[in-house]
Amino acid sequence: MNDKTEMNHIPKVSVIIPVYNEEKYLRQCMDNIISQTLRDIEIICIDDGSTDDSFRILQEYEKKDSRVLVIREENKGAGAARNTGIQKAGGRYLYFPDADDYCEPSLLEIAYKKAEDTEADVTVFRSRQIDVETGKSSPCRYSVYIDKLPAKCPFQISDVQGNFFRFIMGWAWDKLFRKSFIETNNILFQEQRTTNDMYFTYTALMKAQRITTLDTELYNHRINITASLSMTRNDSFRCFYDALIKVQDEIKKMGLEDKYRQVFVDYALHCCLANLNVLDGDSARELHGLLNSEYFRELGIYDAPSEWFTSSNEYSEYLIIIDEKEGYDGYEKYHLRQMLISSKKENELLKKEITDIREENKKLEGIQAERDHYKYCLDEVWKSKSLKIGRAITWIPRKISGKEQNS
């Protein structure tokens, strides 16, 4: 338990923030957390061996807010830092934001109330993406497909029709976790450079008896941060594979291999291709070779029938990769062609949407023009001499009629 927490008091939420060289965005993150409308929280910040000004900034917040506890460790990665936070946490729920993102002011209050009302082990909510290069903000539509999840609330993963791996992303920052549930099941983060939350999140979802969702955007996730770990996957691309293997092992331990093998294999192929396609140079070539020689077989993809895969495009890319004659250069050309085709289709859809919007605007403009015309005609009638003379002539009869109706 956080040493600052009173022995007999349990905070509603323990906010656990791993920090590594985040001085640029850290103040906004911390200001946002300490200003949450839910006040009964503790904020555990683990400085993961920062070499910039992050630790000093955290110390400032620790001095001015008694709810903040700062722990400094040698650099072991965000997974290890989050595990330290879990050990120190005394709250009823656990929340894991990233230090370079920021929350909506009411995130914890809304998520906590939903979790309490539904007695949820895991509460999932929506998020937005903030592109630091363009400044554009947009809903992160793929983080959770609520429309594909069970309508009843709460639910279990076994209630989901379809591939739950594709319906809920394996991130920790858009979910609230009941601490007693995490502790009882001994769920911890993988201590690796990247993709350290996939195992934690999907294990929690598979073991949860009660999952609930919020169709509300409560978290703002920055993308295209040049210095971010997600932008340096060339140095640690094997981490995603290690995470998939650990999830696969957990499915076997739970005795759910027959039930979830197909959805896992489908997701594993998606994950392999997504990671391959963000790499370049020697790292891309190396991963291409590993996929063909080892990863596809170990993940169960190699022996899976084609009907197990929900995306025909992904399956086609898989076939190109395992065709040794094509090699990485052949795959890269194929993938680029597919991207161009996809881009053309998206452009056509966008053009159609724009055309439909323009047509709708024309209709609205026509309706508005008719309204303006009727208003003009009515105004002209009220201004006309004939109406004024007529109203003068009928003034006495109208007054008499009004008196009779009132009597």
- The whole-number average pLDDT for the span 127-155 is 94
Q: What is the per-residue pLDDT across 173-215, written as a single tens digit (0 to 9) for each?
A: 999 999 999 999 999 999 998 999 999 999 999 999 999 999 9
Q: What secondary structure does DSSP assign to 202-237, as a single string? A: HHHHHH-S-EEEEEEEEEEEEE--TTSGGG-GGGTT
Candidates 263, 152, 153, 151; CA nearest to 206 is: 263
Rg of the chain (C-alpha set): 29
Q: What is the per-residue pLDDT across 8-19, written as a single tens digit (0 to 9) for each?
A: 789 999 999 999
Residue 356 has pLDDT above 70, yes or no: no
Angle between helix 26-34 and 54-64 (nearest 10):
20
Terminal-residue alpha carbon distance, the chain: 80
Q: What is the per-residue pLDDT across 254-275, written as a single tens digit (0 to 9) for each?
A: 999 999 999 999 999 999 999 9
Q: How many CA atoms lie within 13 A of 153 on its CB side?
A: 16
Is 271 in contact with 244 (CB distance < 8 Å)? yes
pLDDT confidence of residue 338 = 77
Q: What is the per-residue pLDDT across 369-388, written as a single tens digit (0 to 9) for each?
A: 667 666 666 666 566 666 55
User: What residue spans define the domains of the chain?
Assistant: 236-370
pLDDT confidence of residue 195 = 94
Residue 344 has pLDDT above 80, yes or no: no
- Residues linked to residue 42 through DSSP beta bridges, in sequence order: 14
pLDDT confidence of residue 339 = 72
Residue 229 has pLDDT above 50, yes or no: no
Q: What secondary structure does DSSP assign to 185-208, as a single string? A: TT-----SSS--SHHHHHHHHHH-
How far is CA 223 from each of CA 20, 82, 134, rounded to the nearest angstrom? 17, 21, 10
pLDDT confidence of residue 327 = 84
Q: What is the per-residue pLDDT across 69-128, written as a single tens digit (0 to 9) for each?
A: 999 999 999 999 999 999 999 999 999 999 999 999 999 999 999 999 999 999 999 999
How far is CA 283 from each of CA 191, 235, 238, rounded to the nearest angstrom? 22, 8, 10
Q: What secondary structure does DSSP assign to 318-368, as a single string? A: HHHHH-TTTHHHHHHHHHHHHHHHHHHHHHHHHHHHHHHHHHHHHHHHHHH
> H helices then E strands: how many in the chain?
15, 9
Residue 403 has pLDDT above 60, yes or no: no
- What is the pTM for the complete model shown? 0.82
Angle between helix 257-276 and 239-253 (nearest 10):
180
- Reported as a pLDDT band with limits 50, 70 and 90, residue 334 is confident
